[in-house]
Structure 1
């Protein structure tokens, strides 16, 4: 079924979920895929029938080798912490990504994850960054998130 021009949206959006993980040194976790030069906030797309939390948990198992709710000794929850939109990295001009971000709470559970995350086979590199990180090595949404975390006093 095709839609008429009147009902078609003006912009294309890629809808993704992301985990903002902050370590004990007040740095944010970012990841880089093979054959890419930029880092992104770990996460991905929902599969059919998944809630945001289910999708984020699955993506973190796939990318970071941890289950956000069962890998920590401290009982954890997943809390929404903002949405960011920008030009999608590597996509045609006008294609936007909408990144809905989440954090693990309480803070003690988030800190436990710091020691547990490791790059899976689909991730070439994980890095902990602060606001001095080279912005050219981040996606546009990554830059927005970094600025937001710095503004909120969550990272150095």
Structure 2
């Protein structure tokens, strides 16, 4: 499964979102590209649909390979660092949003494996995420 996602960092905190189908599991905002859709276009479309805003200053950051949290299939997620043109407002299939530090979330909420195992450690290593 191919996914494009946004790492939105403000004050060294990372924006995460949950979906109505699994409101206790938090991911990066983003989604799957439509057939032939360029990744940055996918990112803009998904952020518009999910957060009612658009990405600004989009920069490729990391490609993560990990199991998809809900589907349990292999996933390749291309992560772009960006800012948002306006404050995020939940839309589409989203249930909640949280700004997290490297401590992640408190039980019973959980982070998707790609965030927990790959992205958060890398953001900490790069000095981008607060402890």
Whole-angstrom distance in 1 between the partners of 2:71 and 2:48:
26
Matched, 1:118 2:89: yes
Matched, 1:98 2:91: no
The TM-score normalised by the length of structure 2 is 0.88
Whole-angstrom distance in 2 between the partners of 1:82 and 1:155:
15
| Structure 1 residue runs of 4 or more that deviate by more than 4 Å after TM superposition | none
Task: Point out the structure with the larger helix share.
Answer: 1
Q: Unmatched 5+ residue regions in structure 2?
A: none
Deviates more, 1:47-56 or 1:14-23: 47-56
Q: Unmatched 5+ residue regions in structure 1?
A: 1-13, 69-75, 105-109
Pair 116,134 (structure 1): closer, same or farther in 2 beyond 3 Å: closer
Paired residues, number: 126
Judge conservation of contact 1:118–1:126 (CA < 8 Å) in 2: no
Task: Point out the structure with the larger strand share.
Answer: 2
RMSD: 1.7
Judge conservation of contact 1:27–1:129 (CA < 8 Å) in 2: yes
